[in-house]
Structure 1
Amino acid sequence: MADEITINLSPDQALVLSHWLDEVMGTREFDSVVNRDRAVWSPLHRISGTLEKTLPEIFAPDYSARLGTARTRLLREVGDVGEPAEDE
């Protein structure tokens, strides 16, 4: 068994995930879900910290524009996944 697991993300995925984790970690709603299994905090902090250390974009003056562009590309990639179903 390997000592560590590697997860590969595209730069867009990493940027959007990093931003999302920064936004939700520490909120009552998110924390209450994670606190149901407190062991999950360990990998969440590892992932969040790794993303922060490896993404120089988060400190760029045009961060918001880069994030928006990354979101647009990812939304095209996922198509309608997660969209509310239309009433028929």
Structure 2
Amino acid sequence: MSDSQVTIKLTSDEALVLSHWLEKLQMTDLSQVVDDPAVWAPIHRIAGTLDKTLHELFASDYEKRLEAARQRLRPED
């Protein structure tokens, strides 16, 4: 099996919300949530890539931006 790369495209809103969730996930005991340790490496890689890419993470109004992104992503009733 080759180690070919997979590209995932996210909107900035999706990336911001996913980054926040992954950060919370990594702060827990991953073994409690993810039953296969083989999944931990990709979780850390995705989170690290998002952290390097998202400038919003360091904005003074981060929480406001995060909530706005969440609102835009939630399905309308």
Please tell me the TM-score bracket, short chain as reference.
Answer: 0.7 to 0.9
Gaps of 5+ in 1: 81-88
Deviations 1:12-56 (A, max 9, x none): 00000001111122314x53121x210000110110000000001
CA contact (8 A) 2:31 2:37 kept: no
Opposite residue 20 of structure 1, the aligned amino acid is W
Which structure would you say has the larger Rg?
Answer: 1
1:24 alignment partner in structure 2: 25
Corresponding position of 2:7: 6
Q: 1:39 is matched with which residue?
A: 38
User: Within 2, Cα distance between the matches of 1:23 and 1:68?
Assistant: 15
Cα distance in 2 for partners of 1:79, 1:2 equals 40
Cα distance in 1 for partners of 2:27, 2:16 equals 19
After the TM superposition, list the runs of 4 or more consecutive aligned residues in structure 1 that deviate by more than 3 angstroms.
none
Q: Distance in 2 between matches of 1:17 and 1:31?
A: 19
Query: Identity over the aligned pairs, expressed in percent?
Result: 54
Q: Aligned to 1:3, what secondary structure does the other structure show?
A: coil
List alignment gaps of at least 5 residues for structure 2: none
Shift of 1:57: 0.4
